[in-house]
């Protein structure tokens, strides 16, 4: 009730819209403390069943479970929503890669990133993973950039006075790692020897527009200024 009241005071009618920006952090911390999402109180967010909740938020739930290496929960959710894990991974491919590619730029996280990519390949196959990167490149780039959280450099990156940012999730990264994620995409593009922006402008001229539009839409739909 308190959260609902606060949400309405901010002009947000649906509680889930108010909680949405923090949902990755909430789910991560919940899983970290309970080692499961089975007891997560999705009903408080206005959902009538676990099927409704997981179907609506697979793009948030799957990266958390994959990074937490909870294969049991993945199987349970696949059963709940009535789809194989491979189908879920394909549907959430941009979000999964957006949460792991920056890790390759951090030597302390490279082993984890390699393990996660291997688990994705286990369900989708190497060839499928590579083809989806090209097919969904705009979405992958958008997800990588959307996971930027760099308070120390944000003012120099964007200029102007910025509001205090909320606490980052475990799946958000400073600018240098985000750029590392973009570099990974370049290295695995059909023309890895060509800078990504040149490849995009020559081979996929509308992709830049799609990325910018997706990022603008994310910002425009945000319910809170942060």
Using CA of residue 55, residue 56, residue 62, residue 68, what is the dihedral sign? negative
Q: Cα–Cα distance between 201 and 198 in angstroms, integer?
A: 5
Cα torsion for 221, 95, 24, 6, to the nearest 10°? 10
Q: Looking at the domain assignment, is residue 9 inside a domain?
A: no
* Residue 106 near residue 179, CB atoms below 8 Å: no
> Based on C-alpha coordinates, what's the Rg of the chain?
18
pLDDT at 3 over 50: no
Q: Looking at the domain assignment, is residue 207 inside a domain?
A: yes
Buried b (16+ CB within 10 A) or exposed e, 190-205: eeeeeebeebbeeeee
**Bigger pLDDT: 151 vs 177:** 177
The whole-number pLDDT of residue 167 equals: 65
Provide the pLDDT confidence category of residue 200 given band limits of 50, 70 and 90: confident
Q: Looking at the domain assignment, is residue 121 inside a domain?
A: no
The total of structural domains in the chain comes to 1
Provide the pLDDT confidence category of residue 5 given band limits of 50, 70 and 90: very low
Mean pLDDT calculated for residue range 147-174: 70
Q: Looking at the domain assignment, is residue 87 inside a domain?
A: no
Helix axes 126-135, 110-124, angle to 10 degrees: 100
Q: Looking at the domain assignment, is residue 76 inside a domain?
A: no
Mean pLDDT calculated for residue range 166-193: 86
| Distances in whole angstroms, Cα of residue 197 to Cα of each of 3, 105, 182 | 43, 19, 10
The whole-number pLDDT of residue 190 equals: 84
pLDDT at 221 over 60: no
Q: Looking at the domain assignment, is residue 13 inside a domain?
A: no
Q: Looking at the domain assignment, is residue 116 inside a domain?
A: no
Q: Looking at the domain assignment, is residue 173 inside a domain?
A: yes
Query: What is the per-residue pLDDT across 63-117, written as a single tens digit (0 to 9) for each?
Result: 999 999 999 999 999 999 999 999 999 999 999 999 999 999 999 999 999 999 9
> Residue 211: which domain range?
126-225
């Amino acid at each position: 009730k308190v959260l609902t009241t606060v949400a309405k005071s901010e002009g947000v009618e649906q509680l889930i819209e108010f909680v949405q920006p923090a949902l990755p952090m909430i789910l991560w911390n919940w899983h970290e403390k309970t080692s499961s999402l089975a007891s997560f109180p999705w009903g408080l967010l206005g959902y009538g069943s676990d099927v409704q909740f997981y179907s609506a938020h697979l793009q948030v739930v799957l990266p958390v479970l994959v990074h937490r290496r909870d294969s049991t929960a993945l199987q349970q959710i696949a059963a709940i929503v009535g789809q194989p894990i491979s189908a879920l991974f394909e549907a959430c491919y941009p979000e999964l890669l957006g949460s792991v590619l920056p890790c390759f730029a951090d030597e302390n996280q490279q082993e984890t990133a390699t393990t996660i990519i291997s688990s994705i390949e286990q369900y989708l196959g190497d060839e499928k993973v590579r083809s989806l990167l090209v097919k969904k490149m705009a979405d992958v780039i958008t997800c990588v950039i959307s996971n930027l959280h760099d308070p120390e450099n944000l003012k120099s990156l964007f200029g102007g006075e910025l509001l205090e940012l909320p606490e980052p999730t475990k799946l958000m990264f400073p600018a240098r790692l985000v750029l590392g994620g973009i570099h990974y995409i370049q290295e695995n593009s059909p023309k890895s020897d060509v800078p990504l922006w040149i490849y995009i402008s020559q081979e996929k001229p509308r992709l830049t527009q799609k990325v910018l539009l997706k990022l603008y839409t994310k910002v425009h739909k945000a319910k809170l200024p942060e």
